[in-house]
Amino acid sequence: MKSIELLAPGPMMPLVMEKLGEAFTLHKLWEIADKDAFYREKGAAIRGLVVGGHVRIDEAFLKNVPNVEIISNFGVGYDSVDVKVAAAKGIIVTNTPDVLSEEVADTCLGLLLMTVRELPQSERWLRAGKWEGQGPYPLTHTTLRGSTVGIIGLGRIGKAIARRLEAFDVKIEYHNRRPVADCGYAYRASLKELAKSVDILVSVAPGGPETHHMIDAGVFEALGPKGIFINIGRGSAVDEPAMVEALKKGTIRSAGLDVFEFEPKVPAELIAMENVVLLPHVGSGTHHTRNLMGQLLVDNMTGWFSGKGPKTPVGETPWPKA
The residues annotated with a catalytic role in the active site are: 234, 263, 281
Residue 182 three-state SS: coil
* Window of 19-27, 66-74, 81-89, 173-181 that interacts with ligand NAP by CB under 6 A: 173-181
**Judged by CB under 6 A, which of 53, 158, 235, 294 binds ligand NAP?**
158
CA distance 112 to 107: 8
Q: Does 51 participate in binding ligand NAP (rule CB under 6 A)?
A: no
* Window of 99-107, 115-123, 193-201, 294-302 that interacts with ligand NAP by CB under 6 A: 99-107
Nearest residue (CB) to ligand NAP, 150 versus 155: 155
Q: Does 206 participate in binding ligand NAP (rule CB under 6 A)?
A: yes
Interface with ligand NAP in residues 244-263 (CB under 6 A): 258-259
In angstroms, what is the minimal distance from the CB of 284 to ligand NAP? Answer: 5
Nearest residue (CB) to ligand NAP, 117 versus 281: 281
Strands 92-94 and 228-231: unpaired
The DSSP code sequence of 66-120 is TT--EEEESSS--TTB-HHHHHHTT-EEE---STTHHHHHHHHHHHHHHHHTTHH
Q: Does 81 participate in binding ligand NAP (rule CB under 6 A)?
A: no
Residues 6+ apart with CB under 8 A from 281: 258, 259, 260, 263, 264
In angstroms, what is the minimal distance from the CB of 122 to ligand NAP? Answer: 24
Q: Does 76 participate in binding ligand NAP (rule CB under 6 A)?
A: yes
* Window of 5-13, 23-31, 61-69, 202-210 that interacts with ligand NAP by CB under 6 A: 202-210
* Window of 95-103, 222-230, 269-277, 303-311 that interacts with ligand NAP by CB under 6 A: 95-103
In angstroms, what is the minimal distance from the CB of 32 to ligand NAP? Answer: 29
In angstroms, what is the minimal distance from the CB of 211 to ligand NAP? Answer: 5
Residues paired with residue 262 on neighbouring β-strands, in sequence order: 265
CA-angle at 160, arms to 159 and 163, nearest 5°: 85
CA distance 217 to 189: 18
Interface with ligand NAP in residues 219-238 (CB under 6 A): 232-234
Sign of the CA dihedral with 92 first, then 97, 99, and 104 last:
positive
CA 285 to mean position of chain CA atoms: 12
Q: Does 52 participate in binding ligand NAP (rule CB under 6 A)?
A: no
Residue 263 contacts residue 54 (beta carbons within 8 Å): no
- CA-only gyration radius of the chain, Å: 22
CA 220 to mean position of chain CA atoms: 21
User: Which residues contact ligand NAP by CB under 6 A?
Assistant: 76-77, 97, 100-101, 104, 153-158, 175-178, 204-207, 210-211, 232-234, 258-259, 281, 283-284
